[in-house]
Amino acid sequence: MKITHHIAATVFVASLAVAPIALAQDADTEKAIERYRQMLKEDPWSNPGLLDADRGEALWTTARGPKNVSLETCDLGKGPGKVDGAFAELPRYFADAKKVMDLETRILWCMEQLQGFNSADLVKRPHPGGGQPVKELGAIATYVASKSNGMKFSAKLDKPQEKEVVALGDALFHRRSGPFDFSCATCHAAEGLRIRLQGLPFLVNPEAAKKVVGEWPAYRVSTTHVMTMQHRLYDCYWQMRMPELQLGSDVSIALSAYLAKNAEGGDISAPALKR
């Protein structure tokens, strides 16, 4: 923790001259942000993400795709068609796919296997731009996740294949890459940090991870759409000046698994409202 110390020492030295003003400013800023969050939370039914959960439910039950069947026989891990509580136990290893899958990757798999959609087409432009609604796959993910709302993250992740994926996620979380040398850990490996005014969750820390990981998929006020976990990760890599992260790639699954493991026991409140 050499760096933390170094930064702390520098901050301390720098703050000697200005401490009272800077600290008061920090406190005011935090308060203003918290007020904003509170306003968003006060009326849960004002959450437009719930409309996407409804849309996702309709998509789940409607016969669609080249094979014209619904997703009601899709096995999300608790048996065919069982949606209640399924998200709480993901990611997990699926013997039929011989792969550990997170929520979105599993839905993608079902859309291909059961409905006959071409997954290559579905991952081409999988995420909405600002102002557009979440795409179909994301709406279905929002529906499924909402059916674990109020439950706790309880993915076991104890099979050898699952353990390996979590370890891969851990390595990826700390892997610096791109022209800015960023890793996930650059922003998410210490407490109480901000980019500009945006607070950054300390995702390495289970207590902090428990508070936020279960909020995704979430409705994002700034972009007026639901953002899924895969989209969230895609956006982090965009910020890291990396290329476009493919939905369902091993990297996206591994990071989801690593986060779910860190958030084990945390409340699921998807879709939550975010800034």
Partner 1 sequence: MQKISLLVGALVIGIAAAQAQQKTHIDPVKVDAAIKAAFPTAPADWALRLTPDETMKQCSASHNDPAKNVAAAIVTREKASIEYPADGNFIGDWKKGEALAQNGYGMRFSDYPPARPNGGNCYACHQLTKKEVSYGTLGPSLLEYGKLRDFKPDAVKATYEKIYNSHVALPCSNMPRFGANKILTIDQIKDAVALLMSPDSPVNKGQ
Q: Does residue number 167 form part of the binding site for partner 1 (CB under 8 A)?
A: yes
Tell me the torsion sign for CA atoms 47, 137, 127, 264: positive
Q: Does residue number 21 form part of the binding site for partner 1 (CB under 8 A)?
A: yes
Query: Cα 81 vs. chain centroid, distance in angstroms?
Result: 23
Q: Does residue number 254 form part of the binding site for partner 1 (CB under 8 A)?
A: yes
Nearer of residues 21 and 63 to partner 1, judged by Cβ:
21
Q: Which of 110, 184, 187, 236 is catalytic?
A: 236
Q: Does residue number 160 form part of the binding site for partner 1 (CB under 8 A)?
A: no
Compute the least distance from the CB of residue 100 to partner 1, in Å: 12
Q: Is 236 annotated as catalytic?
A: yes
Q: How far is CA 3 from CA 6, 8, 66, 168, 241, in A?
A: 5, 8, 55, 24, 23
Phi, psi for 17 (deg, rounded to 5): -75, -25
Nearer of residues 21 and 97 to partner 1, judged by Cβ:
21
| Among candidate residues 103, 109, 72, 129, the one with its CA nearest the CA of residue 216 | 103
Q: How many residues bind partner 1 (CB under 8 A)?
A: 59
Among 66, 130, 131, 243, binds partner 1 (CB under 8 A): 243
Q: How far is CA 239 from CA 12, 183, 186, 246, in A?
A: 29, 10, 12, 15
Binding residues vs partner 1 (CB under 8 A): 1-3, 6-7, 10-11, 13-15, 17-18, 21-22, 25-26, 29, 164, 167-168, 170-172, 174-183, 185-187, 189, 192-198, 200, 237-239, 241-246, 249-252, 254
